[in-house]
C-alpha cells in the first residue's frame, strides 16, 4: 500500500486527528479514574465528595462525551484494522469511514437516554 493511502483526503485527515484526540481523552479519563478510585483508601470522606460531584448534570454531559470518544475510537479502530488487513480495504476506506460515522450516530442517539436521563430528571424533574 503506498504511503498516505490510509489517510488520503479531507475525511481521512480528520479521522486520523479524531482517532488520536479520542485516544488521548480516553487515556486521561482512565488516569483520573485510577486516581479517584485510589482516593477511597486515602480519604473515604473525600472520595464520597468526588462521587457526589460525579452525579451532577455537568458531569453527565462529560460522561456522554466519554461514550462518544470510546465509541468513535473503537469503531474507527476497526476501520483502520480493515484497511490494514483486508486487501480491498484501502479501496473502500472512504465508504467504511462514512459507515463508521453512521453507526456512531445511531449508537450515540441510543446512548442519549441511558447516559443523560438522570441529568434531565434532575434538571427538569421526573
- Domains detected in the chain: 12-124 (1.20.1300.10)
Residue length of the chain: 126
pLDDT tens, 25-45? 999 999 999 999 999 899 999
Q: Picking from 3-17, 33-47, 71-85, which range would have the lowest pLDDT averaged per residue?
A: 3-17
Q: What pTM, to 2 d.p., does this model score?
A: 0.83
CB 15 within 8 A of CB 104: no
CA dihedral 52, 32, 64, 67 (to 10 degrees): -140
Residue with C-alpha cell 466519554?
66
C-alpha gyration radius of the chain: 19
Residues whose CB falls within 8 Å of the CB of residue 114, separated by 6 or more in sequence, listed in order: none
Amino acid at each position: 500500500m503506498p504511503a498516505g493511502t490510509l489517510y488520503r483526503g479531507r475525511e481521512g485527515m480528520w479521522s486520523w486527528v479524531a482517532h488520536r484526540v479520542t485516544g488521548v481523552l480516553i487515556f486521561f479519563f482512565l488516569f483520573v479514574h485510577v486516581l479517584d478510585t485510589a482516593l477511597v483508601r486515602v480519604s473515604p470522606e473525600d472520595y464520597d465528595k468526588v462521587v457526589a460531584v460525579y452525579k451532577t448534570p455537568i458531569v453527565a454531559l462529560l460522561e456522554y462525551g466519554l461514550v462518544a470518544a470510546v465509541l468513535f475510537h473503537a469503531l474507527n479502530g476497526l476501520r483502520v484494522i480493515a484497511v490494514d488487513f483486508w486487501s480491498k480495504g484501502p479501496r473502500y476506506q472512504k465508504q467504511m469511514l462514512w459507515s463508521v460515522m453512521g453507526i456512531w450516530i445511531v449508537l450515540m442517539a441510543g446512548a442519549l437516554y441511558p447516559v443523560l436521563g438522570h441529568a434531565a430528571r434532575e434538571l427538569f424533574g421526573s
